[in-house]
């Protein structure tokens, strides 16, 4: 079973527009991460946000975390065709030993040139 669920499942935008995707999860977490996966490839880490952080930026990426709502959002600004990929959130459980990492169902983003 998967801990997270991304929304929307699929998103199609024009190059230059912003893309926003959301992740909801079920249990308390330690950290939340976002990953990108290009077709036929492995996942690539984008950004990590800790449970005590509310917002984080990295280049054109902005991540927010609302632990009271158990949700996170990933914003990609000024999108490019190369951003076309699937995006997944990943969560781990609070500290207390080994932390299992589980992924959401993903958002498939298409950026049209």
By CB under 8 A, name the binding residues for other proteins. Answer: 2, 4, 30-31, 33, 35, 40-45, 48, 50, 88, 90, 92, 95, 97-106
CB 104 within 8 A of CB 70: no
Q: State which residue, 15 or 92, has the beta carbon closest to other proteins.
A: 92
Question: Per residue in 83-92, is it b (16+ CB within 10 Å) or e — as a string?
Answer: bbbbbbbbbb
Residue 11 Cβ, how far from other proteins at the closest point, in Å? 15
Residue 54 Cβ, how far from other proteins at the closest point, in Å? 16
Residue 16 Cβ, how far from other proteins at the closest point, in Å? 27
Q: State which residue, 42 or 113, has the beta carbon closest to other proteins.
A: 42
**Separation of alpha carbons 4 and 91, rounded Å:** 8
Q: State which residue, 47 or 75, has the beta carbon closest to other proteins.
A: 47
Helix (H) or strand (E) holding 32: strand 31-37
With a CB cutoff of 8 Å and minimum separation 6, the contacts of 42 are none
């Amino acid at each position: 079973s998967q801990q997270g669920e991304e929304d929307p499942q699929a998103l199609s935008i024009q190059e230059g527009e912003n893309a926003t995707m959301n992740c909801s999860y079920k249990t308390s977490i330690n950290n939340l991460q976002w990953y990108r996966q290009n077709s036929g490839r492995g996942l690539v880490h984008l950004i990590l946000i800790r449970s005590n952080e509310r917002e984080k930026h990295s280049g054109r990426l902005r991540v927010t975390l609302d632990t009271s709502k158990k949700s996170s959002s990933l914003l990609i600004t000024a999108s490019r065709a190369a951003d076309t990929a699937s995006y997944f959130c990943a969560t781990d459980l609070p500290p207390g030993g080994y932390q299992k990492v589980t992924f959401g169902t993903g958002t498939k983003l298409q950026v049209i040139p």
